[in-house]
């Protein structure tokens, strides 16, 4: 999909930059929680728990930003167009990538890609920064995302790779005969 | 970082406040999750108190949506969502009425209601979650299914020309015509918010993939594009635009100023008096 016309965003102040960061982290919490609910509904408990844990990590980021900036929980963040190129934010796993039989390995691949996009988002903000103070703040956020990338990588190394028939279902939902 | 907090904008309602505690049972990957996200964000943009909004639907996977919101909801009869929604809006003009459902519900069994709802131009918003298939009943062709879509139920395709909802809505009298995409729920939210704000019958067609019966629709993500052209109030220009696009332009395509239907008289009749009219 083509990016919004306002791209690229260039926050003029630290507050503006942190509002963008907060918007992205909130999207990530909401999306991981939604994915956890979806997997729970479809009785895929292992992946549901994994997404719930990811939501928890992202919630830490949200809390951290709010505390640091002395902002109230119901602060309004900038909407959509001016912020990012990917729909729903760089750190949100796309909803359409879900599969009811997916394994932790698949879920972690999606999380890894999302964390990498978040890292690149802050990297872009640091490069575009209008002042040294903004650059410094963006680099701090980038470092936190880099930690997440490593955390997910380490987790991924511990889970087995799926067999080739992981999506095989003897009673598939689309059986129409 | 900051020692003294600068004044900031706060909101009474966040998108999450418009979600009910019920977890959707849609298939993982279904586009309808994105539509629910778009709708709840739109309500947060408008800061409408949930009890002042009613979400009315028919039957289908998509028509489950009222239960997943914290607004008033009515999960009605297949194809009759617009009839119920129109009645509600006329009786309770103070409510924001949103009617939602699928392409089967809205264009097959509900097709005639769709035409007349556009024509009446009552102030409500109609969201169709279009996946070009009947999802709930396991994959039958719908009016928007491509004529050559091959499936076990329609071997070789139906061979029947597909329905063009946007141009039909425009011709029938809708006052606002837009297309959105479920994979871009932030963008869908902006469009739905504009639709709710716009007076009269606002029609938003949301491309919402059915990953179970139409897995190839995952490719819509690559096909859709945001339209760069602003909405027109000229129906002839809008018709040309809609007729010549490939179905993947996302945005507001028509925002008109056609007269909106309202209760102009007869508000004072008592129910007993009305019932008397029907006495045998
Ligand atoms: C009067 C009546 N006729 C037929 C049905 C069976 N039926 C249930 S949902 C549906 C079609 C749903 O398709 P759509 O509106 O496109 O929604 P989706 O499930 O794809 O979201 C049909 C034909 C019914 N419930 N009631
Ligand atoms: S069958 Fe299709 S429309 Fe219904 S919930 Fe599943 S993916 Fe969505």
| Whether residue A6 has pLDDT greater than 50 | no
What whole-number distance in Å separates Cα of residue B57 and Cα of residue B53? 13
Residue B276: exposed, middle, or buried by beta-carbon count in 10 A (0-12, 13-18, 19+)? exposed
DSSP assignment of B141-207, as one string? --TTS-TT---SSSTT----PPP-HHHHHHHHT-SEEEEEETT-HHHHHHHHHHHHHSSS-EEEEEE
Residue pointed to by tokens 């809006």: B89
| Residues B83-103, mean pLDDT to the nearest whole number | 97
Lowest-confidence pick of A46-55, A78-87, B57-66, B75-84 = A78-87
| Whether residue B24 has pLDDT greater than 70 | yes
From residue A150, give the alpha-carbon distance in Å to each of A26, A112, A125, A153.
21, 9, 21, 5
- Residues of A whose CB is below 8 A from B182: 95
Per-residue pLDDT band for B2 (boundaries 50, 70, 90) equals: very low
Lookup: tokens for B209: 């993939």
* pLDDT value, residue A1: 62
Q: What is the value of ipTM here, to two decimals?
A: 0.91
Give tens-digit pLDDT for B186-244.
Answer: 899 999 999 999 999 999 999 999 999 999 999 999 999 988 889 999 999 999 999 99
Among candidates B8, B211, B225 on the partner chain, residue whose Cβ is nearest the Cβ of A1: B225
CB contact under 8 A, B15 and A100: no
Closest CA to B74 of B94, B60, B88, B61: B88
Residue pointed to by tokens 């988002």: A121
CB-CB neighbours of B144 under 10 Å? 23
Could you tell me where the DSSP H helices lie in chain B? 32-46, 81-91, 103, 111-120, 165-172, 185-197, 220-223, 235-244, 271-277
What whole-number distance in Å separates Cα of residue A24 and Cα of residue B185? 14
What whole-number distance in Å separates Cα of residue B276 and Cα of residue B272? 6
Among candidates A34, A100, A177 on the partner chain, residue whose Cβ is nearest the Cβ of B27: A100
Q: Which domains does chain B have, with CATH numbers?
A: 22-277 (3.40.50.970)
Asked if residue B154 lies in contact with residue B148, where contact means CB atoms within 8 angstroms, the answer is: no
What whole-number distance in Å separates Cα of residue A90 and Cα of residue A116? 9
- Residues of B whose CB is below 8 A from A39: 28
Asked if residue B210 lies in contact with residue B135, where contact means CB atoms within 8 angstroms, the answer is: yes
Mean pLDDT of chain A: 89
- Antiparallel, parallel or unpaired: β B53-57 and B96-102: parallel
Q: Which domains does chain A have, with CATH numbers?
A: 14-88+97-157 (1.20.1260.10)
Among the atoms of ligand 2, which is closest to the Cα of residue B212? 7
What whole-number distance in Å separates Cα of residue A47 and Cα of residue A1? 29
Asked if residue B29 lies in contact with residue B61, where contact means CB atoms within 8 angstroms, the answer is: no
Closest CA to B119 of B80, B55, B81, B170: B170
Q: Does B7 touch chain A (CB under 8 A)?
A: no
Asked if residue B56 lies in contact with residue B97, where contact means CB atoms within 8 angstroms, the answer is: yes
User: What is the pTM for the complete model shown?
Assistant: 0.94
| Residues B26-46, mean pLDDT to the nearest whole number | 96
What b/e readout covers B65-83, taking b as 16+ CB neighbours within 10 angstroms?
Answer: bbebbbbbbbbbebbbbbb
Nearest CA in chain A to B190: A80
* pLDDT value, residue B234: 97
Residue nearest ligand 2's atom 8 by CA? B30
| Whether residue A84 has pLDDT greater than 80 | no
| Whether residue A115 has pLDDT greater than 60 | yes
Centre of ligand 1 to C-alpha B78, Å, is 6
* pLDDT value, residue B5: 55
What whole-number distance in Å separates Cα of residue B232 and Cα of residue B254? 5
What whole-number distance in Å separates Cα of residue A64 and Cα of residue A71? 10
What whole-number distance in Å separates Cα of residue A26 and Cα of residue A70? 16
Per-residue pLDDT band for A128 (boundaries 50, 70, 90) equals: confident
Give the sign of the dihedral formed by CA A146, CA A147, CA A148, CA A150: positive
Residue pointed to by tokens 């990530």: A28
* pLDDT value, residue B275: 81
């Amino acid at each position: 999909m083509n990016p919004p016309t306002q791209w690229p965003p260039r926050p003029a102040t630290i507050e503006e930059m942190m509002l963008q960061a907060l918007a992205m982290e909130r999207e990530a919490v909401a999306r991981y929680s939604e994915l956890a609910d979806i997997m729970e509904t479809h009785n895929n408990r292992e992946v549901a728990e994994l997404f719930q844990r990811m939501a928890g990590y992202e919630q830490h980021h949200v809390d951290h930003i709010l505390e640091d900036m002395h902002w109230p929980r119901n602060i309004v963040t900038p909407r959509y167009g001016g912020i990012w190129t990917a729909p729903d934010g760089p750190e949100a796993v796309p909803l359409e990538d879900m599969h009811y039989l997916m394994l932790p390995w698949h879920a972690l691949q999606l999380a890894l890609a999302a964390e990498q996009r978040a890292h690149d988002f802050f990297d872009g903000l640091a490069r575009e920064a209008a002042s040294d103070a903004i650059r410094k703040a963006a680099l701090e956020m980038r470092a936190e995302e880099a930690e997440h990338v490593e955390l997910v990588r380490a987790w991924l190394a511990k889970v087995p790779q799926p067999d080739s028939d992981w999506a095989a279902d003897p009673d598939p939902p689309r059986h129409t005969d | 970082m900051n020692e003294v907090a600068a004044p900031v904008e706060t909101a009474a309602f966040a998108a999450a406040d418009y979600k009910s505690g019920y977890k959707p049972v849609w298939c993982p990957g279904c586009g309808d999750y994105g539509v629910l996200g778009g709708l709840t964000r739109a309500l947060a943009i408008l800061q409408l108190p949930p009890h002042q909004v009613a979400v009315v639907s028919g039957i289908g996977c998509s028509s489950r949506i009222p239960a997943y919101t914290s607004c008033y909801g009515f999960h009605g009869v297949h194809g009759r969502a617009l009839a119920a929604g129109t009645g509600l809006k006329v009786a309770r003009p103070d409510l924001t009425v949103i009617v939602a459902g699928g392409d089967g519900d809205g264009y097959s069994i509900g097709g005639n209601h769709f035409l007349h709802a556009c024509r009446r131009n009552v102030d409500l918003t109609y969201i169709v979650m279009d996946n070009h298939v009947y999802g709930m009943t396991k994959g039958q062709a719908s009016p928007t299914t491509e004529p050559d879509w091959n499936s076990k139920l329609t071997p070789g395709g139906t061979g029947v020309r597909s329905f063009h909802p946007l141009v039909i809505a425009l011709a029938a009298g809708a006052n606002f015509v837009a297309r959105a995409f479920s994979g871009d729920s932030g963008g869908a939210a902006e469009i739905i918010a504009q639709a709710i704000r716009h007076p009269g019958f606002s029609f938003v067609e949301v491309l919402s993939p059915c990953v179970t019966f139409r897995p190839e629709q995952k490719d819509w993500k690559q096909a859709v594009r945001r339209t760069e052209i602003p909405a027109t109030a000229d129906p002839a220009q809008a018709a040309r635009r809609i007729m010549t696009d490939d179905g993947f332009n996302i945005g507001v395509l028509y925002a008109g100023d056609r007269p909106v239907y309202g209760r102009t008289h007869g508000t004072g009749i008592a129910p007993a008096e009305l019932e008397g009219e029907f006495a045998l």
